Chains A and B, each alone.
Chain A
Amino acid sequence: MSDFLKRPRLPAGIDGSRRDLWEEFRRQPFGKHSPDLQALLEYMRGGPITGKYFLKLTGPHSEWTLARFSTTYPLTTETLPEHVFTTIEDAEYFVFRRRWEEMFGADPGAES
């Protein structure tokens, strides 16, 4: 793949203190976003394919199971049957929170 497809950069000022971005994502996971949320999403979603989360369609447009690509090539996949969703939105929230936690060390959706 062409090398111009580098991972987008995370702009300065977007860090774990920006729980407002989680709140915005929770309100509207799809569609128009603020510039900061858009930048954060592009960083989160633009990572390498190795180890990347995806959804496995396990019921006819009614059930999605979290899955992950292998961390090495040749690529294989692993489903995570403990994480089954009945809406795409719930899956998006789950992955957003997990990625946030991996990046910033805390779950933005945790009760404070």
Chain B
Amino acid sequence: MSVKAAVMGYADRQSVRPGEPIEFKVSALGPETYRADIVRLIAPEVGLGEDCPDFCEIELGTEVCGDYPTEWQPIHPGSAVRVPMPGGLPLEGGITLSANIFPTLAEAGRQGILGTYSPTDDSGLSLMLEDGALALAVGSGGSTAIVTSSITPVEHRWTAVAVTYEPDAGTVEFHARGMETHRLEAVLSSRERMEGTAPGASGGIHFHIGAVRAVDDRGVEHTVLSFNGRIERPRVYARLLDAEDISRLSQVAGPAPVGGAHADWDLSIGIDTDSVTDVSGNGRHGETVNLPTRAVGGSNWAGETDNWQLRTEQYGAIHFHDDDVDDARWRTSFTLVVPEDWKSGCYAARLRADDAEFYVPFVVRPTPGREADAVFLLATATYGAYANLRLRVVFPWNELIHGRLTVLDDTDLLMLRFPEIGSSTYDSHTDGSTVVYASMRRPVTNFRPKGRIYKFCQDMLLVSWLEEDGYDFDVITDEDVHREGLSALAPYRVVITSSHPEYFSTQMFDATEDHVRQGGRMMYLGGNGWYWVIGYHPTRSGIVEVRRPDAPRLWAADVSQGHLSFSGERAGTWSWAGRPPETFLGVCFITQGFDECSYYRRTPASRDERAAFIFEGVDDELIGDFGLLMGGAAGYEIDRADFLMGTPRHALVVASSEEHSNLYDLMVTSLVDTLPPSNPDDPDRIRADMVFYETAGGGAVFSVGSIAWSGSLSAAGYDNNVAAVSRNVLNRFLDPEPFQMPAE
């Protein structure tokens, strides 16, 4: 039977300068070859008709374009800690393995807790869960013996577990002690005998915590049989401990309760890193694989604080998941060195195999010193948080909250066909816990210029307007600003945002606000911006972290997770962190609805002479009562000015939307309780506000507070009042003449 063609890919970065390399990793199924081309993206594919730009991509002849042999590169999800252990475990005097465990999917088959076992070559030994029961897997080099106990640690409870193994006698003893304050059974033990199996090989190369080792048919080492849940203070003793010693091992803080450990990993050390530290003195340090969740409460978490930095000793657990994936780890299929003469802009590798197509977009930054006056800031932090938004495919309430039938395309459905590509920070892991890390180092199904209109595709509507109007502009990414700070924005007079720049790190917030404070101009042409605090992995690009302690229901972190692991910063919304977006943008997200978009009506403030430049040549009272995104410029996700929350006192609200559908109310009252409370008697509470204000340094901010703004620019061949307002603002913002603060 022929295989349905598929092609997927990703790049090692989303941003590259002329002269620099960018590596593409591709996996394909079906035909003998797949085709790769590099294209410059000018306009997205968003529909037909005079209100839609024609899809436009320019094929660029480069040496990497061509046909490549089809190769399927697997992804191995599941997180673990990997510790180099050449020669394996010393078994001569018997061995003891122990840890505190908090299983979250106890009956999910066979799960590795700690040890050297590998099913690939039936070597080593590991403490396991076997359909919920403690077990020991021992490989003898030719076969594997599983010795299963009668002890079944309770799901979502901490249990101190240990196993001792005496190879010569073939004796296996399991020990478990519930760690709940009130429990029925204090101590359980189970003595088993291993029958008919030679003493296991000691296992070589690597010791794993939270999974076991395997090697695929390409010779790539990976993990399998992942544990779902938390593991704390795993220890190894190269001798048989007695029951009394074992009873002391559940102690996680302070000096070692039993001396002479072969390895003793204190997982509270290096929470903001990929490193795992052995405190036994034997130097058996390790590293995490596929980013298991750190900065989660351990068995001794006491609720005094949700900040892991203040009670680090209470955060000595790591939460492992069988679907964690931080990097597909595919080999590079081709490397493009960006020619020196390529203009800054949006580009992509376009991959095709039979009728399957997949885009891997990237940004070319300008050569330093050759920047334009305006820069489009591509929202790669937000793309990261939403990368592979599984919820958008399988969430039962999609149709309800969108007020329309759910529309999906072939690329969306790759998430069902290849679930190993992982999830977004809006999704849950297999065990129901919330995903907090998301990566662009894997195929990302919702980062593309075609198909269902979403994020990058929508942002290309802004790019196509800039192209159509002939503006000279550069494109850079959120991550460029995060890593480089203000210096990434300093060459520019005007920063133009994406349509949905929802996720901002401190570095990004600081840089954009400092830029405006020093005379720069911000055109916020989107909605739901600067909303959630995000962290980037300290050393590896394209990996973001989000936790939502102030989202008490949907997407909630558990109560111990108030701070990001990557940076230690307060997690949640920027409002929750004490820096409401209103203080900078003048507006903040209030609600959403995807069934219909509305229009803005000008306010009396739009006649203020300070705002005259915004509406020059625009006589209409209604702005944006048209558009390809559900018929209006105000909608999808909308933001409102709120002077109590920090909208600058001299800001002008020059237009406000009205007449939004029921869905916008529903989101406030019924579903997402991250939204600020509002007065239900206020008929205008559901609205997007268009705001303008000047800064003391000669800069200015213009905000539209609506994702759908981008969808109205192209109406009537870009001859409409949304395009006119955008053009008026951009032209004035490009003018070096400083803005003046109004008189008190």
Contact = CB atoms under 8 A, between A and B. Distances in A.
B407 A57 contact: yes
Contacts of A32: 659, 661-662
Contact of B450 (A2, A60, A75, A95): A60
Nearest to A94: B405
Nearest to A1: B428
B46 interface: yes
A49 interface: yes
Chain B at the A interface: SS class: loop
A8 B416 CA distance: 27
A76 B408 CA distance: 13
B406 interface: yes
B408 A57 contact: yes
Interface size class of B (residues with CB under 8 A): 35 or more
B452 interface: yes
A19 interface: no
Contact of B407 (A4, A55, A95): A55
A21 B407 CA distance: 24
B553 interface: yes
A47 B396 CA distance: 7
Interface stretch (A9-17, A38-46, A100-108): A38-46
B554 A45 contact: no
Interface string A69-94: 10000111100000000001001100
B173 interface: no
A8 B595 CA distance: 18
Given A1-B428, A52-B396, A62-B48, A30 B408 contact: no
A64 interface: yes
Contacts, number: 96
A111 B179 CA distance: 68
A41 B396 contact: no
A95 B57 CA distance: 36
Nearest to A48: B396
A5 B396 contact: yes
Interface residues of A, number: 37
B407 to A, nearest CB: 5
Interface string B399-420: 1100111111110010010010
B403 A41 contact: yes
A73 B452 CA distance: 25
Contacts of B55: 60
Contacts of A8: 400
B405 A31 contact: no
A31 B396 contact: no
A38 B595 CA distance: 12
A55 B400 contact: no
A5 B395 CA distance: 10
A56 interface: yes
A54 B406 contact: yes
B397 interface: yes
Contacts of B478: none
A33 interface: yes
A55 B413 CA distance: 12
Given A30-B661, A49-B395, A88-B405, A77 B400 contact: no
A46 B452 contact: no
A31 B407 contact: no
Nearest to A61: B47
B451 interface: yes
Contacts of A38: 662
Interface string B230-255: 00000000000000000000000000
B400 A1 contact: no
Contacts of A67: 408
Given A54-B406, A61-B47, A75 B397 contact: no
B698 to A, nearest CB: 43
A57 B396 contact: no
Given A2-B554, A30-B630, A57-B451, A46 B405 contact: no
Contacts of B395: 1, 49
A49 B399 CA distance: 10
Given A30-B596, A53-B405, A77-B408, 12 more contacts: A1-B396, A30-B595, A31-B661, A42-B666, A45-B400, A57-B451, A60-B55, A60-B450, A62-B48, A67-B408, A77-B416, A91-B405
Interface of A: 1-2, 4-5, 8, 30-33, 38, 41-42, 45-49, 52-57, 60-62, 64, 67, 69, 74-77, 88, 91-92, 95
26 contacts: A8-B400, A30-B403, A30-B595, A31-B595, A33-B662, A45-B400, A46-B400, A49-B396, A52-B396, A52-B399, A55-B405, A55-B406, A56-B407, A56-B408, A57-B409, A60-B45, A60-B48, A60-B55, A60-B450, A61-B52, A67-B408, A75-B394, A75-B416, A77-B408, A77-B413, A88-B407
